[in-house]
Amino acid sequence: METFGARLRTALDTRGPLCAGIDPHASLLAQWGLDDDVAGLEQFSYTVVEALADRVAVLKPQSAFFERFGSRGIAVLERVVADARSAGAVVIMDAKRGDIGSTVAAYADAYLDPASPLFSDALTASPYLGFGSLEPLYALAEKNGAGVFVLGLTSNPEGAQVQSAVGASGRSVAEEMVMAAAERNAGASPMGPIGVVVGGTVATPDFDLGRLNGPYLVPGIGAQGATAADVRRIFGAGARNVVPSSSREILREGPSVAGLRNAAARTVEELAGMLD
| CATH superfamily to which 4-202+218-275 belongs | Aldolase class I (3.20.20.70)
Catalytic residues: 96
Q: Enter the DSSP assignment of 172.
A: B
What percent of the chain shows pLDDT beyond 70?
A: 99
Q: Which residues contact 225 (CB under 8 A, 6 or more apart)?
A: 200, 201
Give me the mean pLDDT over the 162-175 stretch: 93
Mean pLDDT over 101-115 rounds to: 98
Asked if 155 and 198 count as a contact pair (C-beta separation under 8 A), the reply is no
Mean pLDDT over 92-104 rounds to 97
Average pLDDT score over residue span 121-135: 97
Distance CA 275, CA 39 (A): 39
Q: Which pLDDT does position 238 carry in this prediction?
A: 77
Do the bridges between strand 194-198 and strand 122-125 make them parallel or antiparallel, or are there none, so unpaired?
unpaired
The reported pLDDT for the residue numbered 2 is: 94
pLDDT of residue 250 exceeding 90, the answer is: yes
Average pLDDT over residues 177-205: 95
- Secondary structure E strands in the chain: 19-22, 58-61, 90-97, 122-125, 147-153, 194-198, 216-218, 242-246
Q: Within 10 A of 166 (CB to CB), how many other CB atoms are there?
A: 11
The tens digit of pLDDT for each residue in 192-217 reads: 999 999 999 898 888 989 899 999 99
Q: What is the pLDDT of residue 276?
A: 62
Q: Are strands 194-198 and 147-153 parallel, antiparallel or unpaired?
A: parallel
At 228 the pLDDT is: 82
Q: Average pLDDT of 128-140?
A: 97
The predicted-structure confidence for 19-56, as pLDDT tens digits, reads as follows 999 999 999 999 999 999 999 999 999 999 999 999 99
pLDDT for residue 94 is more than 70: yes
Cβ atoms of 241 and 215 closer than 8 Å: yes
What is the C-alpha to C-alpha distance for residues 182 and 202, in angstroms, rounded to an integer?
Answer: 20
Q: How far apart are CA 126 and CA 128, in angstroms?
A: 6
- The reported pLDDT for the residue numbered 259 is 98
Q: In angstroms, what CA-CA distances link 78 with 67, 73, 225? A: 11, 9, 31
pTM above 0.85, yes or no: yes
Average pLDDT over residues 138-156: 97
CB neighbours of residue 239 within 10 Å = 22
Quote the CA–CA distance of 252 and 72 in Å, as a whole number: 24
